[in-house]
């Protein structure tokens, strides 16, 4: 297992959000967390990354226990996050945004290859980061964590609010990253998109994992899934 999460609990101030999350991700897999709004998917990603103040349980990455580490230490083990709000910095231009995350390990993609994946970024290299379109900002947010040498990429709703053609481009990108050996943990509301890229799914509800299945068993589980997601 590259990532092994056991009985993960997390709190925002007084409110208890995660009530014991258990799941795992193997090296080279694309795994998707599904679930309704407020199920705890984003909090799960942030807890793994160490961005939540109070968390307990166990998160092992590549054999290292990370539950007691600060998020900068966790990043250096080879995890990276692309947050839901994308986190593009307004006071930095596109190139500065792209080059911001330091290299934590060898083996990141060269910048030229990132521009190959997202040619739009190269054309707008000196624009202010937040002047980009939503799709371009998403590409920038994904692109900048490909440079760092991180092996596990956590993408929080990368397709949210984007046009179908851009969603397709992001789908192709995820497929290519998987080919290159990246491991990807995805949070998605867009189930149809997730079904085109993921190997396995976990379903979350009320801060717990309530079900899991592989992509090949998807059609057999369709009715159950509609119930879970309320679609």
Partner 1 sequence: MFNISTQALFAQLLVGLINGSFYALLSLGLAVIFGMLNIINFAHGALYMMGAFCAYFLLNVLGINYWMALILAPLLIGVLGAVLERTMLQRLAGLDHLYGLLLTFGLALIIQGLFQNYFGSSGLPYAIPQQLTGGQNLGFMFLPNYRAWVVIFSLTVCLATWYAIEKTKLGAYLRAATENPTLVRAFGINVPRMITLTYGFGVGLAALAGVLSAPINQVRPLMGADLIIVVFAVVVIGGMGSIMGSIVTGFALGILEGLTKYFYPEASNTVVFVIMAIVLTVKPNGLFGRA
Structure tokens given for 179: 């080919």
Does 127 help bind partner 1 (rule: CB under 8 A)? no
CB of 127 to partner 1, least distance (A): 15
**Long-range contacts made by residues 159-166, C-beta under 8 angstroms, separation at least 24?**
159/188, 159/190, 159/193, 160/84, 160/189, 160/190, 161/134, 162/134, 162/135, 162/138, 163/135, 166/135, 166/138
x/- track of binding to partner 1 for residues 134-173 (CB under 8 A): -----------x--x-------------------------
- Name which position in 74, 132, 146, 184 contacts partner 1 (CB under 8 A): 74
- Phi, psi of 176, rounded to the nearest 5 degrees: -70, -35
* Nearer to partner 1 among residue 84 and residue 199 (C-beta): 84
Does the footprint of partner 1 cover residue 114 (CB under 8 A)? no
Return the residue of 27, 65, 72, 217 that touches partner 1, per CB under 8 A.
72
> What 3-state DSSP class applies to 212?
strand
- Residue 46 or 200: the one with the smaller Cβ distance to partner 1 is 46
* Residue 99 lies near partner 1 (rule: CB under 8 A): yes
Nearest to partner 1 of 19, 54 (CB atom): 54
- Output Rg (C-alpha) for the chain, integer angstroms: 17
Binding mask 26-65 for partner 1 (x = CB under 8 A): -----------------------xxx--------------
Query: 201 and 34 in contact (C-beta within 8 Å)?
Result: yes
Cβ closer to partner 1: 103 or 133?
A: 103
Determine, following the binding rule CB under 8 A, whether residue 12 of this chain makes contact with partner 1.
no
Per CB under 8 A, 84 contacts partner 1: no
Taking each helix axis from N to C terminus, what angle separates 164-179 and 134-146, rounded to the nearest 10 degrees? 10
For position 81 contacting partner 1 by CB under 8 A, the verdict is yes
225 C-beta neighbours (distance < 10 Å), count? 17
- Of 28, 57, 83, 171, the one binding partner 1 (CB under 8 A) is 83
Work out how close the CB of 51 gets to partner 1 at its nearest, in angstroms, rounded to a whole number.
5
* Terminal C-alpha separation, the chain: 32
69 binds partner 1 per the rule CB under 8 A: no
Residues near 86 by beta carbon (within 8 Å), at least 6 away in sequence: 137, 138, 140, 141
Pairing status of strand 200-205 against strand 30-35: parallel
Burial class (CB in 10 A: 0-12, 13-18, 19+), 46: buried
Interface positions with partner 1 (CB under 8 A):
49-51, 70-72, 74-76, 80-81, 83, 87, 89-92, 96, 99-102, 104, 145, 148
């Amino acid at each position: 297992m590259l990532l092994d999460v056991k009985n993960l609990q997390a709190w925002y101030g007084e409110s208890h959000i995660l009530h014991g999350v258990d799941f795992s991700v193997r090296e080279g897999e694309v795994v998707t967390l599904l679930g309704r709004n407020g199920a705890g998917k984003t909090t799960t990603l942030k807890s793994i990354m160490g961005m939540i103040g109070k968390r307990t349980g166990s998160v092992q990455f590549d054999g290292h226990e990370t539950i007691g580490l600060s998020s900068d230490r966790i990043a250096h083990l080879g995890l990276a996050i692309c947050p839901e709000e994308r986190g593009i910095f307004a006071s930095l231009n596109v190139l500065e945004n792209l080059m911001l995350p330091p290299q934590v390990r060898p083996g990141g993609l060269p910048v030229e290859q990132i521009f190959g994946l997202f040619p739009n970024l190269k054309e707008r290299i000196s624009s202010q980061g937040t002047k980009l379109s939503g799709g371009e900002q998403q590409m920038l947010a994904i692109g900048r964590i490909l440079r760092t040498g991180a092996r596990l990429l956590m993408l929080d709703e990368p397709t949210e609010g984007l046009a179908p053609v851009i969603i397709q481009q992001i789908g192709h990108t995820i497929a290519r990253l998987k080919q290159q050996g990246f491991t990807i943990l995805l949070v998605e509301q867009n189930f149809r998109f997730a079904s085109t890229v993921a190997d396995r799914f976990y379903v979350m509800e009320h801060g717990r994992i309530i079900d899991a299945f592989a992509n090949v068993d998807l059609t057999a589980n369709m009715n159950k899934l509609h119930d879970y997601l309320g679609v």
